[in-house]
Structure 1
Amino acid sequence: MTVKINEERAVARVVHQQVQGMLEKNLELLDQVIAPNAKLVHITGTVQSKAEWLQQIRLGRMHYFSSHEVLFQVVVKGKQAQVVMRNELDARIYGFRNTWPLQSKVELVKGPHGWQIIASHASMY
């Protein structure tokens, strides 16, 4: 079905833009693709708001160097979507640099201006 495929591509584009924004430290792009009230759960279990996470990137406490995608799955149901992705993410988090085997479950909703991320839960795989 063409409509569903197009929606899956639109969702994938938003999630890939998030990764691109992280690597480029493009806070404007991250601000666009992540909803204002989004909740982000990190591998430590720490829950941050979008504003808190962007501030950590701005201050250099979270710095992303590269990402190698190893899995990417999209499920769209109406105006809601979920992405499960696995990346080998080279990052320095609070002073510790590592290549993290990261699995993210990302939830998105479609609003009047397109898809936005409303939640992300990261864990190691």
Structure 2
Amino acid sequence: MAQTQHRTGIHPRLLEEEHDFKTVKLAQTVNDTSEHIGGPTTMTVAQEQQAKTEVLESHQALFRAMVEGRTDVLDDLLEDRFTLTHITGYVQPRDEWLAEIRSAKFRYHEIDEKNVSVELAGSTAVLISRAVFTVTIGGSRGTWSLQSTLQYRRTKGHWTVDWYRARFD
């Protein structure tokens, strides 16, 4: 029963699929903190930990889908208004980013996550991840240490990404 509750914040499609865990190395734990975005919430400690676990699971599914080039899964994990702010400062709309992944103009080979933390404010969460990304962009392959900040929103029982900002770490 606890396992079912543990996975309620993940989109059902993700629960039915198998993933290649060799391509994505994910941080195993969420840094625990007593601070909350926007002040205190009315969640119990157990509810807060459950929500953080669900956000982390959604984040892991996001990184797996990026490496696997699964735009169908990314489509389910991203809000319609989603934007990705690249290390260059370019703010890329959702559909444009997904099209570049589909066409292999933007290909994630590996994401080696070193650290992740989650802060909650009701149905919103901010996740900060430090990871090493190996990516091919427009035919050029490179590896970068990045800090990613993502805002997640719980809608229709699932945690989805509002926006994603990457910068050099």
TM over 0.5: yes
What SS does the corresponding residue of 1:44 show, helix, strand or coil?
coil
User: Once the two structures are superposed, what CA deviation does each residue of 1:81-117 show, in whole Å capped at 9, x if it has no partner?
Assistant: 0000011011111222111101100001111231110
State the aligned residue count.
125
Structure 2 equivalent of residue 31 of structure 1: 75
Overall identity of the aligned pairs, in %: 26
1:54 to 77, 81, 98: 98
Structure 2 equivalent of residue 85 of structure 1: 129
Tell whether 2:62 aligns with 1:18.
Answer: yes
The amino acid that maps onto 1:26 is R
The amino acid that maps onto 1:61 is K
Structure index of larger Rg? 2
Give me the whole-angstrom Cα distance separating, in 2, the residues matched to 1:94 and 1:82.
Answer: 30
Q: Which has the higher strand share?
A: 1
- Shift in Å, 1:15: 1.1
Structure 2 equivalent of residue 101 of structure 1: 145
| Gap regions ≥5 residues in structure 2 | 1-44
Give me the whole-angstrom Cα distance separating, in 1, the residues matched to 2:81 and 2:138.
Answer: 24
Q: Once superposed, which parts of structure 1, at least 4 consecutive aligned residues long, lie more than 4 Å away?
A: none
User: Once the two structures are superposed, what CA deviation does each residue of 1:18-42 show, in whole Å capped at 9, x if it has no partner?
Assistant: 1000100011110011111111101
What SS does the corresponding residue of 1:15 show, helix, strand or coil?
helix
What SS does the corresponding residue of 1:43 show, helix, strand or coil?
coil
Give me the whole-angstrom Cα distance separating, in 2, the residues matched to 1:32 and 1:99.
Answer: 27
Tell whether 2:167 aligns with 1:123.
Answer: yes
Coordinate RMSD, CA, aligned = 0.8
Tell whether 2:72 aligns with 1:42.
Answer: no
Q: Taking structure 1 as the reference length, what is the TM-score of the superposition?
A: 0.96
